Structure 1
Amino acid sequence: MATSSSTTAPGGHVNATAHSTRKRYLRRSLAASVAVAGAAIGLMSPAVAIPAAATAPTAGASALAHDPEMDWMGSTIAAHEGSAARTQVITPGVTQTPGMDVSHYQGTINWASAYSNGARFAYMKATEGTTFRDATFSANYTGSYNAGLIRGAYHFATPNSSTGAAQADYFVAHGGGWSKDGKTLPPMLDIEYGSTSTCWGLSQASMRSWITSFVNEVHAKTTRWPTIYTTTNWWTTCTGNSSAYGANDPLFIARYSTSVGALPAGWGFYTFWQYADSGTFPGDQDRFNGALSGLVNLANNT
C-alpha cells in the first residue's frame, strides 16, 4: 500500500508522491522488498485472503523487486507519457457513456454515489501475475453490481514472471470470468510499462507470443475475447505495433488528453478510453465509445 507520507488525488489515486514511492520500492534490496510486501499484505482485509506466495514472484531478482501493491490500471502511464488536459472534449453528435476503473487504492467506494454522478460501468483490478489478488476486488465487484453498474475484472500483466496462459488461468480462477447477464464486461488484460524495463525484458516477438497465449487462454476458458488495455506508444514499442488482435479483442486505449490520438495497428476504433487519472469518479476516468445500449450489448456478447 502507499506509505503514510502519500497524499490522494481527487480521483482517488495516489498522486505524484506515489510515483516517487514506487521508485524507492524498486531501489530497495531484495530482502527489503519481500519484507515490505509481506507487511502490506498484513494490512489487507481478511475477507479476501492473499496467498503467502504473493510476496515472492518466481522470475528472479528483477521480478522480486516488483511490488504488485504499487500497480493499477494506468499506474505507469503518466510517468512515461505525461498527463495533459483533464477535461475531455466530446465530439458533437457522438454518444459516449461515462465510467471508471479502480483498485485497492480507492479503499471503500460509495458505488451508489458513483452511479448517481453518472458512472454506468467500472473495471476493477482482480489479479496480477499468478499469486496476487487485489484485496478490494470482491467488495468492488459486488458493490458495483448492486448499484446498477455494468462491471468487469482486469488482470495486471507481468510478462516477465510467468507465461500468458498461466496468468490467464489465475485471472479466470480469481474473478476474471464472464456471464451473459448484461452486467458483466469481457475480462480485460492490462498490459503497460514494466517496473524494471519498458517491455518487461521481452523482445517484440516474445511479447506478441505472450499476449496471444493470454488472450487465447481467456477465450478458451470464458468464450470471450478479452479487452486489451494499453497505450499506442507502449504497443508500438513492445509489440512492433502488431495488428493481430483488432479483429477480436476490444481496445481500451489510455491517453490522458482531450482526444485519443492515433490508435494501435489493427483497431479501427476504440471501445473504451481512459482519458484522465482523476476527476468526477473514484479512480481513473473512462468512456465507453457508444450509448448505454451498446455497453449492454457488449456485456451480452452481441
Structure 2
Amino acid sequence: MARDRKPSRHRARVIAASVAALTIAGTALAESPASAAGLPKGHDVSAHQKNVDWAGSKAKGARFVYIKATESTNYRNPYFTQQYNGSRDAGLIRGAYHFALPDKSSGAAQAAYFVRNGGTWTADGRTLPPALDIEYNPYDRKHQCYGLSKAKMVGWIKAFSDELKRETGRRPVIYTTTHWWNACTGGSSAFAANHALWIARHGSPDAGPLPAGWSFWTFWQYDNGGSLPGDQNLFNGSPSRLKTFARGY
C-alpha cells in the first residue's frame, strides 16, 4: 500500500480533472491562470519531492507552501523536517497538512496524531494554519466516501476540526474538491463560516463552483505540475493579506 501522499493526490486529480473536462474541456495549465495574475504563488509537497531546493523555489516566485505531515494515525512524512524547516529558512510562509482516512480512525484521533507530528501553529505570521486534506479514497475506488454516510462524514470532519482547534487554537483549512464534497458530505455548509477553503480544480481558467456555503476560496490548487516542486497553488489575496491570514487576524 502506498504511504506517500503523492500517489493518493494523483488519484484525486485524475477524477477532478475529468469532472472539470465535462464543462470546461480545459487543458493543464503550466503556469498560473491569467485570471489570477498578481496573486501570491505557492505549492504543496509531500515525501514524493524529497529534499526540496527551497532557495530555488523562492527564486521562482514561491511565497508559501503546504507540506504533508501525516496520514491516518500511522504515517509521518520522513522528509517533513527538511521541508518544513527548510522552507521557513528560505523565507516562505509554510504550513502542514494531514491526509484524512476517515475509515481508519476517528477525526479526533487523527487530529491529535497530526498535532503531535507537525500539525502545529503559532501566530508568527510565518506559519499557515494546519490543513485537512479530505478527498477521494486512494486505496479503494469503490468507496470514495470511505464507507461513511454523509452525516457521519460531516461528524468526522467536525471532530477533527474541534480537536485541532482545542490543541492549536485554529480551525483547519479544508482541502477538497467540489465534486467530492457534494458526494460525500451531501453538500454540507456547516464549515464555511469558520474554515478557509483550499479548492482543488485543475485545467480550468478559474476555481469553478465552490462547495456549499463558501463564497470564495482562500487557496486554489490549479495544477499538479509547473515551475514549483509539487502542486501549484495561489492565495486569494495580497502578500500582506497572506501574512495576516497566517497570524490569524
Structure 1 length-normalised TM = 0.75
Say yes or no: does 1:141 pair with 2:87: no
Cα pair distance change 1:204/1:276, threshold 3 Å: same
**Distance in 1 separating the partners of 2:233 and 2:152:** 30
Residue correspondence of structure 1 range 102-181 to structure 2 within 5 A? 102-181=45-124
Rounded to whole Å, the distance in 2 between the matches of 1:67 and 1:114 is 27
For structure 2, the 5+ residue unaligned runs are 19-26
Q: Over residues 107-153 of structure 1, what are the superposed CA-to-partner deviations in whole Å (9 max), with x where a residue is unaligned?
A: 21100010011000000000011111001111100100000000000
Deviation at 1:85, TM superposition (A): 2.7
2: distance between equivalents of 1:193 and 1:207?
13
CA gap of 1:133–1:217, structure 2 versus 1, over 3 A, is same
1:259 to 187, 190, 206: 206
Q: Deviations over 1:5-46 (max 9, x none)?
A: xxxxxxxxxxxxxxxxxxxxxxxxxxxxxxxxxxxxxxxxxx
Matches of 1:165 and 1:153, distance apart in 2:
17
Instruction: Provide closer, same or farther for how the CA distance between residues 160 and 250 of structure 1 changes in structure 2, counting only shifts above 3 A.
Output: same
Distance 2:87 2:7 in 1: 18
Q: CA deviation at 1:72?
A: 6.0
Aligned length: 236
Q: Aligned residue for 1:294?
A: 241
- Is the CA contact (8 Å cut-off) linking 1:71 and 1:156 kept in structure 2? no
Asked if 1:247 is matched to 2:193, the reply is yes
1:80 Cα deviation (Å)?
A: 1.4
* Contact 2:178 2:211 (C-alpha < 8 Å) held by counterparts: yes
Structure 1: unaligned runs, 5 residues or longer: 1-65
* Structure-1 residue corresponding to 2:222: 275
Match of 1:75 in 2: 10
Quote the Cα distance in structure 2 between the aligned partners of 1:239 and 1:157.
Answer: 14
Aligned counterpart, 2:158: 212
Q: 1:89 aligns with which of 25, 28, 33?
A: 33
User: AA paired with 2:48?
Assistant: Y
1:186-213 Cα offsets, whole Å, 9 max, x none, are 0000001012121111111110010000
Range that drifts further, 160-169 or 103-112: 103-112
Query: Kindly, what percent of the aligned residue pairs are identical?
Result: 49
Contact 1:72 1:156 in 2 (8 A): no
* Amino acid across the alignment from 1:233: H
For 1:109, the aligned partner's letter is V
Whether the 8 Å contact between 2:69 and 2:119 is mirrored in structure 1 is yes
Query: Once superposed, what is the RMSD of the aligned Cα atoms?
Result: 1.5
Contact 2:35 2:206 in 1 (8 A): no
CA distance in 2, matches of 1:287, 1:108: 22
Q: In 2, Cα distance between the equivalents of 1:113 and 1:244?
A: 40
> 2:16 & 2:128 partners in 1: Cα distance?
27
SS at 1:215's partner residue?
A: helix
Select which of 168, 181, 184 maps to 1:222.
168
Deviation digits for residues 242-288 of structure 1, max 9, x if unmatched? 00101111000000022110000111100000000000100000000
Partners of 1:232 and 1:262 within 8 A in 2: yes
Higher Cα radius of gyration: 1
User: Which whole-Å CA distance do the structure 2 matches of 1:106 and 1:97 have between them?
Assistant: 21
